[in-house]
Amino acid sequence: MNKKAFFTLIVCYFFCSGAFAQELKNIVIFGDSLSDSGYTNNFHNIDSGWPLIPGDLKEVKQPTFTSPDKGNTVWIQFLSQDNQISSTPNNIYTPSENINRSVKPVLDGNNYAAGGATTVCKGLGNKGDYTPPPLGPLREGENCLVGQEDIQKHNQIDSYLKQHQNKADPDSIYIIWGGANNLFIQLGYFADNRSILSKIYYLMKYKVTGEVLPDHEILKVESAAEDIASDVRYLIKHGAEPRNIFVVNLPDLGITPAATENGIDAKSFKVELFNSLSGAFNEKLASNILPDSVSIIDAQKFFNTIVKDRKIKVNGVEYSFSDVTHSACDFDGPNALTCIPKDYVSGRYDKYLFAGQVHPTSYTHKVLSKYIYSFINK
């Protein structure tokens, strides 16, 4: 090797992209359906209508909230495969009402995310069959409703610590992605609990200012962001290294088919209501409530870029999308946990952004895995 080539090799070793990249050995996930890779491992056995993957009459659809595929369907699965590390669900300490219903508590992996989970207390489940464990412990002064004690004590972070001698491994990467279900609960509150006069007030406010910002609901979603920040501090207190903790913010919920009525109207009161809550959550999360050295992974930017350009470039590779407004599944049909896109075998829905009313497709998850890794690998 001549001197010039040798010098080039040395320079590239120290300064080329990835030279100082952190080796990814173990990753721990806390979250909801956006990260759930199979927490409800027994649902298909108690639901007689659980679908099979088209083209394979023996394989049931994975219990993940995205479009079906053979193999990986959720971002953490794709990320783990790319980096040759283990990633399986963990449901060992599930709330008692789940046992032998939706959950067989035998999975002891590193992904604690459970579909429907809120930051604390009771989330969105299936009465009698499934109640998701919340992400983390209560903050000082917080309380759950009476009867939710068993659910809260099985929160994901304490479940992790219980299985690891009450210590958080300082060398592990921790990713926390939650809050969306807190927002959906508040959207339900607005629809079901606001008076007619109150709704008229906010509608008129929207007509005049273009904003909604319902006060009660905004305070609740800001509290959810505070819960996430508390989870971060809790992990650090138990040994996690701050620079190894990553918090994912929320997409603008107004881009989802649920908000736009499956692409019919991208500029409406409903869209602005959805966006006002996700925007308040993200603003609170970014307002210095997280400890120094803890990074925010910008999912809001990821999804907005795709909706705007129908493509996104990650690490120099461009990924295109065929549809960014409609759901691949029947809009009025089952949610992404059990829905199958029409003409699934044809592949015509493979590059849709959304699988159902709010959940992304497995293709989106695959691209998202590259995006998330680009933050970890900085």
The predicted-structure confidence for 224-281, as pLDDT tens digits, reads as follows: 999 999 999 999 999 999 999 999 999 999 999 999 999 999 999 999 999 999 999 9
Torsion angle of C-alpha atoms 123, 296, 361, 192, degrees rounded to 10 = 30
What whole-number distance in Å separates Cα of residue 167 and Cα of residue 170? 9
What pairing do the DSSP bridges indicate for beta strands 173-177 and 245-248? Answer: parallel
pTM of the model: 0.92
Tell me the mean pLDDT in the region 195-205: 95
pLDDT band at 57 (very low <50, low <70, confident <90, very high): low
Torsion angle of C-alpha atoms 230, 231, 233, 236, degrees rounded to 10 = 170
pLDDT band at 2 (very low <50, low <70, confident <90, very high): low
- Closest listed residue to residue 179, CA positions, set 238, 110, 243, 231: 231
- Closest listed residue to residue 260, CA positions, set 277, 278, 273, 276: 273
Candidate from 246-260, 328-342, 356-370 with smallest mean pLDDT: 328-342
Tell me the mean pLDDT in the region 117-137: 96
What whole-number distance in Å separates Cα of residue 125 and Cα of residue 132? 6
Residue for token digits 């009698």?
128
- Which range scores top for mean pLDDT: 71-75, 109-113, 144-148, 291-295? 109-113
pLDDT at 10: 39
Spell out where the chain has E strands. Answer: 27-31, 173-177, 245-248, 295-297, 311-314, 317-320, 323-327, 352-354
Q: If DSSP codes are grouped into helix, strand and coil, which group holds residue 272?
A: helix
Is residue 233 within 8 Å of 226, Cβ to Cβ?
A: no
